[in-house]
Structure 1
Amino acid sequence: MEILLYVGGLLFMLVGLGVSIALHEMGHLVPAKLFGVHVGQYMIGFGPRLWSQRIGETEYGFKWLPLGGFISMSGMYPPSPQALGAAAEQAAEAGPQRGGGLFRTLVQDARTANDETIDPDRAERVFYRLPVWKRVVVMAGGPVMNLVLATLIFTVLASGIGVQQGTTTIASVSECVLPAGSAQTECAQGDPVAPAAQAGILPGDRLLSIGGTPVDTFAEASEIIQASPGRVLPVVVERDGQEVTLSLTPVVAERQAVDEHGRGAVDDAGEPVMHEVGYAGVGGQLAYVPQPIGTGLEITGENVGAVAGILVTLPQRLWDVGVSLVTGGERDPNGPLSVVGVGRLAGEVAATDAPILNRFVVLLSLLGSLNIALFVFNLIPLLPLDGGHIVVALWDGVKRAWAKLFRRPPPKPVDATRLVPLTIVVAGLLIVMGAVLLLADLFNPVKLLG
């Protein structure tokens, strides 16, 4: 059964990844067609064709390796000189003979491949002829679709299912007050009775008010208790449908302070900052509490910031992954992962011994985070990523605006094929990065559940 659950989690993530890729490419396809660009192919995956069907002028299909996707738009770049006339063709043919080597060959190959996408009968329906803002919309459409999907997922999680938090229903009551900093887990003779037990609070009671203040969440109740060490607090609970009034006196306890991010605060020497708070010895039942509709958007923003932070330190993180792969050291659970790594985590989550809803929530969270990663990563301003194409379009717009400002003739469209050598270097680095992460996820994976 555990194996079936593991496979189920893996399949869930693979299907989710496929949908994410499909929507990403749809984000490019729809505006391209709306703007009149001829789109020859819409493919999910790479490698040999698995299945395809031509609908209208576009071939839709799947390929064997589900590691991405693409659409083939006519005329991503301006045509090469060969495509513009015989005289230009002769001049271009004379060029390679004067030298240039590998660089010139790569550029020329890219131009030839680009020329093949331009149908003479659809010469006006090419991408490079679009206004700058339309090119930006087409290229940004893919990442934006991933952002929209992530926002939808996090909204469903936060407002549809809810965020797991303590409720005012009491789940547990401690029998005694354990010494601060002690490793002791059970009460010993002579340990003082916990205030909640002494007050007569029982598991199953629902807190209505503390110290005369109504409470709706366990966090509100905890805040009042922690602010009232040594004070006598009237506590009203609902027990078996009846309201019962009790008297609670929290004892003084030392706890580590927390910073604005909810982490344990430390001083300049790195020591924990301790302060005195009230302690009662009660725990609230956990439940999924729906949040306001805008919470999903807030969570999306936080995730975008976190992934952008990872991206800034990506070289160092990749180095650490490589070191852990060689040494067998523990991986950073917040570090980068390959598709295999994400799939393994999904399998572990699905197979763990936890309520089904809890597992589903974690799986959806992983899928949402994956879409955030696709959004941020694809906006890196380097070809062949979407961000690189956006930069090329914006540069073309700057050149045209400059020429218009000084009343000069419109400049030629930016020829991005000249950047092919750099594009190949970037693609090579992406392949190396993918290989390192893949090997690490196979032989030294991150274990989310320990």
Structure 2
Amino acid sequence: MGYLLGVILFALGIALTIALHEAGHMGVARLLGMRVRRYFIGFGPTVGQFTRGHTTYGLKAVPLGGFCDIAGMTANDPLTPEEEPLAMWRRPAWQRIAVLAGGVVMNIFVGLVLIYTVAVSAGIPDPDIDLTPTVDGTACVAPAQNPDGSLVPCSGEGPAAEAGITAGDRITAVDGRPMHTFIELRDTVMAKPGETVELTVERDGITREVAVTVAEATRIDAVGGEVTVGAIGVSRAPVGNVFRSYGPVEGIGASLRFAGLMFSGTVEGLKSFPAKIPGVAAAVFGEERAQDSPVSVVGATRIGGELAERSEWATFLMMLASLNFFLALFNVVPLPPLDGGHIAVVLWEKLRDAVRRLRGLPSAGPADYRGLMPLTYTVAALLLTVGMVVIAADVVNPIRLPG
């Protein structure tokens, strides 16, 4: 029952996210005196609609998208005589950009509200917590790993112990490169089997440099193959509770800072998105699916159901916040039919006309969007294809929460 409730609530959250995105466009357009003809959520057959004033509001059968139809968004848009003076393309560039960015701003605002809600209730990761790699203890390095995941027995001291590293030491850098977390230290050392590295170690407020020869070991990778990695034989000291709840006032600053971290992560996720699609496609045909692979609204809703089943409502809300940030950043990609593509056209018009003025020529007028239709259709088809692949993977080979 909890799972089904979570699925329903997360699906509603996605629909509301889309609705608010389109409401952002509509609100700014109306504020600036433009006419909004239609405001629809979803695509496919119309389930229901009603008209109020000059705007028709409606819901379509598949609530996974939406649109806000503003009179005269382009110069190719047919207009009635009444709409002609209200055409969006006639407005100054800053007004057109403000309308086009309205959905993005709305998603950012919604994401911030969700983070703030979690910050003053359950708590968010403390942005000031010190995650510097701290040694809990040292041990020998197991030379290999069994197929079941266990390590083969080993004896003696490991490289770290031989170099004099003890419990409580803080490893702040490797070969001069700062280490911010134990995971970063682990990954750095794993990439240097057999090499001698210089660790910057802090003990009792005193910093010193320690040379350590990284041991070579074999481990089982994600697909069951053996790989050679480096290890020095240290374990991580407990970090403690990384979550912190805030008061109503201090929660504002903490939420903004944490949102910045989420934004950075989302940007990195967008950069790596294309490279992960082949892996998602392979997962459709039975290959192991990476835990960090992209998910569709189907996969996200499934995960939302699992979170609700475990009563992890704070994580549930943070997923919705992340979704809003993703939608905001994805929409600023400068390709049609995304908002960023339309903004790019407006900026191109301004740049083009600035060059024409320098040449003593008049403005060339609004861009002819008909020339962009092949690109628009290509991008739309590509997005649809990728979306269907990810949905298929979420159906036949879904990502599940650990535990």
TM-score by length of structure 2 reads 0.73
Unaligned runs of 5+ in 1: 80-113, 166-176, 184-250
Deviation at 1:434, TM superposition (A): 0.5
> CA 1:283–1:367 in structure 2 vs 1: closer, same or farther (change >3 Å)?
closer
| Residues 163-188 of structure 1, C-alpha deviations (whole Å, 9 max, x = no match) | 368xxxxxxxxxxx9984699xxxxx
Q: In structure 2, what residue type is equivalent to 1:336? A: P
Aligned equivalents of 1:362 and 1:150: distance in 2? 13
Aligned equivalents of 1:287 and 1:377: distance in 2? 29
Secondary structure in 2 matching 1:313:
helix
1:226-237 residue pairs with structure 2 within 5 A?
none
- Structure 1 counterpart of 2:343: 390
Counterpart among 14, 18, 22 of residue 19 in structure 2: 22
1:359-374 residue pairs with structure 2 within 5 A?
359-374=312-327
Counterpart among 385, 388, 394 of residue 435 in structure 1: 388
Q: Does 1:263 align with 2:183?
A: yes
- Structure 2 counterpart of 1:301: 260
Secondary structure in 2 matching 1:375:
helix
- Percent identity of paired positions between Structure 1 and Structure 2: 33
Deviation at 1:428, TM superposition (A): 0.5
Secondary structure in 1 matching 2:291:
coil
Q: Does 1:124 align with 2:124?
A: no
Deviation at 1:303, TM superposition (A): 1.6
1:9-88 residue pairs with structure 2 within 5 A?
9-79=6-76
Q: In structure 2, what residue type is equivalent to 1:158? A: A
- Structure 1 counterpart of 2:246: 290
1:26-425 residue pairs with structure 2 within 5 A?
26-79=23-76, 114-115=77-78, 118-163=79-124, 180=139, 252-253=166-167, 257=171, 259-265=179-185, 266-267=188-189, 269=192, 288-290=244-246, 292=250, 293-329=252-288, 331-352=289-310, 356=311, 359-425=312-378
> CA 1:53–1:262 in structure 2 vs 1: closer, same or farther (change >3 Å)?
farther
> CA 1:284–1:137 in structure 2 vs 1: closer, same or farther (change >3 Å)?
closer
| Residues 397-421 of structure 1, C-alpha deviations (whole Å, 9 max, x = no match) | 1122233344422212111221101
Unaligned runs of 5+ in 2: 127-135, 143-164, 173-178, 205-234
Secondary structure in 1 matching 2:183:
coil
Deviation at 1:162, TM superposition (A): 1.8
Aligned equivalents of 2:59 and 2:279: distance in 1? 35
> CA 1:30–1:362 in structure 2 vs 1: closer, same or farther (change >3 Å)?
same
Structure 1 contact 348–449 (Cα < 8 Å) conserved: no
Structure 2 contact 137–166 (Cα < 8 Å) conserved: no
> CA 1:264–1:383 in structure 2 vs 1: closer, same or farther (change >3 Å)?
closer
Structure of higher CA gyration radius: 1
Q: In structure 2, what residue type is equivalent to 1:12? A: L
Q: Does 1:7 align with 2:20?
A: no
TM-score by length of structure 1 reads 0.66
| Residues 332-356 of structure 1, C-alpha deviations (whole Å, 9 max, x = no match) | 222211000000101111113xxx4
Aligned equivalents of 2:364 and 2:180: distance in 1? 52
> CA 1:295–1:283 in structure 2 vs 1: closer, same or farther (change >3 Å)?
closer
Aligned equivalents of 1:256 and 1:441: distance in 2? 41
Structure 2 contact 34–88 (Cα < 8 Å) conserved: yes
Secondary structure in 2 matching 1:345:
helix
Aligned equivalents of 1:422 and 1:270: distance in 2? 48
Deviation at 1:254, TM superposition (A): 7.3
- Tell me the matched-pair count: 326
Structure 1 contact 14–343 (Cα < 8 Å) conserved: yes
Aligned equivalents of 2:371 and 2:241: distance in 1? 62
Deviation at 1:68, TM superposition (A): 0.9
Aligned equivalents of 2:295 and 2:352: distance in 1? 39
Aligned equivalents of 1:286 and 1:308: distance in 2? 23
Aligned equivalents of 2:75 and 2:398: distance in 1? 45
Secondary structure in 1 matching 2:75:
coil
- Structure 1 counterpart of 2:232: none
> CA 1:48–1:405 in structure 2 vs 1: closer, same or farther (change >3 Å)?
same
> CA 1:302–1:282 in structure 2 vs 1: closer, same or farther (change >3 Å)?
closer
Deviation at 1:429, TM superposition (A): 0.3
> CA 1:287–1:383 in structure 2 vs 1: closer, same or farther (change >3 Å)?
closer
Deviation at 1:277, TM superposition (A): 7.1
Deviation at 1:63, TM superposition (A): 1.1
Structure 1 contact 254–275 (Cα < 8 Å) conserved: no
Structure 2 contact 47–61 (Cα < 8 Å) conserved: yes
Structure 1 contact 39–57 (Cα < 8 Å) conserved: yes
> CA 1:54–1:326 in structure 2 vs 1: closer, same or farther (change >3 Å)?
same
Deviation at 1:284, TM superposition (A): 6.3
Structure 1 contact 77–417 (Cα < 8 Å) conserved: no
Aligned equivalents of 1:301 and 1:282: distance in 2? 26
Deviation at 1:140, TM superposition (A): 0.7
Secondary structure in 2 matching 1:432:
helix
> CA 1:283–1:28 in structure 2 vs 1: closer, same or farther (change >3 Å)?
closer
